Structure 1
Amino acid sequence: MADDASEKLEKLISRLGIPSDPLLSDRKGELILPENIICFQHDSAAKLNQPADGRALHHRFVLILALSGGATVCVEDKAVRLKEGRGMLVFPFQFHHYTDPQGEDLKWLFVTFEAKDATELEHLRYRSFKLDESLLTLGEDLVETYLGKDNNDLLVMRLGLMLGVIRRLSGRSLSKLPESTVEGIVPSVNLAALNSKDQPTVEEIAASLGISVSHLRASFRASCGISLGRHLRRLRVEEACRLLRVTKKSVAEIADECNFNSIDSFSRCFRSVLGVTPLAYRKSSEK
């Protein structure tokens, strides 16, 4: 076996040639380095929407690999049919839930993570991709490393490599973009809320979309199943979670940056959403 590998490597080396400048390369690194990686699985359709209190929303990426069984993943205003043998990526601050399972039994791998810069993955938004042999092998290595619990650096590199392979997918490997059911309401609201230095009012968001406040509220609830006000509060709390995890800023600074009037109002809102105080959340994330 070793002789075969050596022979194969020798054949590849013969194709390299000699560079004009062995100290200068035109290849730039584009590896996405994920952080705070969590792997878990669902083996029944009934577990997909737990907890059932509204649609899921958080500041993390969610990589889903449908190894066995399929269902529809509703992401914001779009529905993506995730069939067996396909995967997809849900982006931070995207509402998502699951409908129309092919059956009760399934085997889905979930990998949630954070990444400071993942612009190279934007073409995967709302799209599924084929799980070929290379991705399945990388998934196997990833889970094996995660179960080992003793090499976080290797875990980061293996997921980074997997994301690098996924980033290069195109053509037949990707599904077509699904049509919107309520065009642009959710992503437009998220864009207005997250990109504003000051917390925009519902009236300002409605004006930016060219619709009435009542139409905005009704359309948002129809699309997401929760009120617009609750969603905007949740967005601020999720952004606060990210800042508590990845920065050393004080609770007061984070409260101000996330447009809360005071530390007290920030703490009350944070606890009502997550059930813990901001400081308790920071301590738990440091473990």
Structure 2
Amino acid sequence: MRTSYGFHFNEPIPERLCVLESVGWGEAVDAGYGQDGLRRAGSGHLFQYTLAGEGAITVAGQTYRVPKHHGFFATIPSDHRYYYPPDGRKPWEFVWIRAKGGPMSDHWRHFIRVFGHVAAFRPDSEPVRLLWSLYREAGAQGLRDKYRMSLRLTEWLLAFERMAEGRDAGDRPLPDSLRRAKLFMESRVGDTVTLDDVAAAAGMSKHHFCKVYKAHTGVTPIHHLRKIRVEEAARLLRNTGLSVEEVSRQTGFDNVSYFGKVFRQFVGTTPSEYRKGQSNRYDGRQLQIVD
């Protein structure tokens, strides 16, 4: 288990304020990682968001998977346990935020009613962007004033509230055909995949598939395939010593020059520049992939 704390607050917490207890990045690599919500120390409310791989959480006997771009809500203490699943194939990489005080309990109950214990959140959604902003600001020692901290946390909570209010309009589940196509693309990141292959996974003609996919997701299938390849490439650049050429090969790009061009379009830097920048975990750039 590797962790990088952007912040850990250990001062007395005023009752009427929302106060950040901790925020950080972590990576679990084996089944030894887990937290029991009835046994761990302290109290508060936890949101943990998956960047890569997959975790799991059991709440009152019900188990939920927490795949990439999903987050879970948990209250400490409560009857829950989150962990790296025994059948995990990739490291579970995540960011978390834990806070308490003020109206946090009411917000958390509302979020769980609306979203469920586990929900999908786009990496460019307002709550996730604000989470990274809090992580960076805390890491730069910018949240030492408890009133500014409460203001920033309230802004983050209201981002979830705004999303909850419009959930029915903006967060419809994908039809099974498109979900199959997305799973097919995500499982074939390192392979040669054509648009015909993806459309076949959805059971549609190529022309109809492209039209329906963009109508539901706002992007083309090819854009999505490039994006998940770049995300996997970014993970490999962060967490392995593979050469840029090998990362290019393992993420399905025809040649390293084309890989560099696409990577820069999504991330804003070259693969080599991105790898150098990861020596500072507080910059949060692992999520700065334009959709």
TM-score (norm 1): 0.45
Larger strand share, 1 or 2: 2
Larger radius of gyration: 1
